Structure 1
Amino acid sequence: MAERYSSFSRGGLAWFLQRATAAFLVVTLAFHFFLLHFYNHAPEITFAGSMGRMEVPAYWLTMVLFLGTATFHGVNGVYNALVNQGISGTPKRVAKWVLVVAGVALFVQGLRVSFALAGGSLL
């Protein structure tokens, strides 16, 4: 029987953060689906409504935390999938830094959009 391999060290920080972000994402996705798919229906969602929601500090903070955890969870998951497939050496280091730069760029752009929707600006 083949032995199971994972790049996550069970009980390590990366292992914990991947699971903690998954739990947070499940909760915030449930909130998102309830608010934007059941409470409000697709034809009722407008740009002005999105701006109004983002002007509420608690909603804005929730969405920024959602952005951060989703970005980390996705980038970390892709990196560990590559490691599990056997990437090592220089390609592993390149993949890591490409993913870090892409993750930071995605997060910064998401922050810019969230500030713009909330009526402010970032950069």
Structure 2
Amino acid sequence: MAEHYSSFDRSGTKWLLQRVTAAFLVVVLAFHFFLLHFVNHAADVTFAGTSARMSTWTYFSLMVLFLLAATFHGVNGVHNAIVHRDGIDGWKQTAVTAVLVVASLIMVVQGLRTALVWTNLF
């Protein structure tokens, strides 16, 4: 039988968060596809409709959580692949980590700015 390989340390918090965010993303993506592709067809999605959905605290909160979970899940996966799988360390690891942290911050800030534009909450 083949040996199981994972570059994640299974005792770490990042390993657990990677799995939790994956499960969350599957559920939220299913909700997204159901709502925006079956309930409302693509041709029916308008700025006003999106603004109305985003103006409710529940939908807005879900989308912000989706943004945070997707950003963490994606960046953590890329970091794991580059650092642990490829085995880099030292200044290269520091540089990769710094670039990914900056990219994450930019993505989250821009995502929040975009989400706030769609709302009438603030």
Matched residue SS, 1:93: helix
Distance 1:42-1:22 versus aligned 2 partners, 3 A rule: same
Cα distance in 1 for residues equivalent to 2:2 and 2:91: 28
Give 2:22's aligned residue.
Answer: 22
Partner residue in 1 for 2:40: 40
Q: What SS does the aligned partner of 2:9 have?
A: coil
Higher relative contact order (CA 8 A, sep 6+): 2
> Where in structure 2 are there 5+ consecutive unaligned residues?
none
Cα deviation, residue 26, structure 1: 0.4
Compute the displacement of 1:120 (Å).
5.3
**Deviates further, 54-63 or 77-86:** 77-86
**Identity of counterpart residues, as a percentage?**
58
Q: Does 1:86 align with 2:87?
A: yes
Q: How many residues align?
A: 121
| Partner residue, 1:115 | 116
**Which deviates more, 82-91 or 44-53?**
82-91
Any runs of at least 4 consecutive aligned residues in structure 1 with deviations exceeding 6 A, and if so which?
A: none
Q: 1:85: Cα distance to partner?
A: 1.6
Q: Is it true that 1:67 corresponds to 2:67 in the alignment?
A: yes
Q: RMSD across aligned C-alpha pairs, in angstroms?
A: 1.8
- In the alignment, structure 1 segments of 5+ residues that lack a partner are none
Structure 1 pair 89–2 and aligned structure 2 pair: CA distance change class (3 A):
farther
Shift of 1:43: 0.4
What TM-score, normalized to structure 1? 0.91
Deviation of 1:12 after TM superposition, in Å, equals: 1.4
| 3-state SS of paired residue (1:111) | helix
Deviation at 1:9? 0.8
The one-letter code of the counterpart of 1:117 is: W
